[in-house]
Amino acid sequence: MADTLLVDVEKRFPGGPTVRATLEQRATPGRVTVLFGPSGAGKTTVLRCLAGLDRPERGRILFHGEPWYDGEARVFLPPQQRRVGFLFQDYALFPHLTAEQNVQYGLAHLPATERRERSRALFSLLHLEGMEGRKPRELSGGQQQRVALARALAIRPRLLLLDEPLSALDAPSREQLRGELRRQLRELGVPTVVVTHDRLEALALGDDLVAMDGGRVCQVGPVADVFNHPAELAVARMTGIETVLPGTVLRREAGLATVSVGPHQLLALEPPSGVDVVFVCIRAEDVTLSAPESAPTSARNRLPCTVQSLSPEGALVRVVLDAGFPLVARVTRVSSEEFGLAEGRPITASIKAPSVRLVPHPG
């Protein structure tokens, strides 16, 4: 199909894991697909198969209908014929070359004038003016990242592949560059696949998310949908849902389910038909705290709790509660002080029914 990236491959490693990936994603200008999951999930293997750096044992890869790899038909296009731009995790800049020479490295077949025009245009686009003559060691981490990105773009790729593009940076630089990188990817107008294990990076960069774990694709969809509606336990855990508990669906009515969790019954959105044994997943930011004597709110689930522990997290505070089962909330420092939160203090936790997500139990 036109404007799509179709991947259905199996890559085996002797004495090691097998990576199986099946997905079909829109590959339109500026659209970003994130391969997301923990270390060892198989994300970089899929990226290298897309680039033509690794050859799968079976399957096929089609980009805009063109076969890049087809095991049965014995088709395997080398990287230069696929015309992909690859940004490596460590940027892989040549230390003895200037920034401009690094960017022009893949353009040796072009006249010098065209090489210079193309690299200078990218330096302007990525706000690197004045850095052309510097060696990589003379650049900051963010500048090195942009030079590596310019080099990947210099060949005018049909598909851009980024492997953990911000992992080499310190935390403040990563935070600053997330939004900038997303803006750049939109402006560049090249379909992009990004590998990351960082939740904030996935949320900031991606349009679509491919959740991977243990060498397989667990769930594919728009980023917000996968984060808000995990299809299985592995996805719930990798997307950072803090409270995950076993539960049993007792009854269903009007699109809602009553589910037994520890000593309580909670209202949640109804799970698929036939699914009664579940994991109950609740994000910390969806838990609202109030004084025990406060008036009821619109939340359908109100639980008397006791504060077990408090952990500062920057401007927020992570609150671990005993609700008859472990429950995690996250509040601002101001709210924590207003409530006088302290270990052993009684508090009421409220959770709206749509915020209680039910994931099928694999058993």
Domains of the chain (ranges plus CATH)?
A: 4-234 (3.40.50.300), 241-360 (2.40.50.100)
* Beta strand 58-63 pairing with 66-70: antiparallel
Residues 86-141 pLDDT 10s: 988 888 899 999 999 999 998 888 899 999 998 998 888 888 899 899 999 999 88
CA dist 100 and 120 (Å) reads: 8
9 token code pair: 């491959």
Of residues 137, 130, 125, 203, the one with CA closest to residue 166: 203
Instruction: Tell me the whole-structure pTM to 2 decimals.
Output: 0.87
User: Which amino acid makes up residue 350?
Assistant: S
Distance, CA of 37 to chain centre: 7
Residues 262-305 pLDDT 10s: 899 999 988 888 889 999 999 999 999 998 877 666 678 999 99
List all residues 6 or more positions away from 322 whose beta carbon is below 8 Å from its beta carbon. 305, 306, 308
Q: What pLDDT sits at residue 9?
A: 97
Q: What pLDDT sits at residue 43?
A: 96
Q: What pLDDT sits at residue 209?
A: 97
Residue 189 in contact with residue 156, Cβ under 8 Å? no
Q: Which helix (H) or strand (E) holds 217?
A: strand 216-222
3-state secondary structure of 337: helix
Q: What pLDDT sits at residue 295?
A: 67
160 token code pair: 């851009």
CA dist 129 and 150 (Å) reads: 12
CA dist 63 and 30 (Å) reads: 15
Q: Which regions in the chain score pLDDT beneath 50?
A: none
Of residues 71, 190, 223, the one with CA closest to residue 62: 71
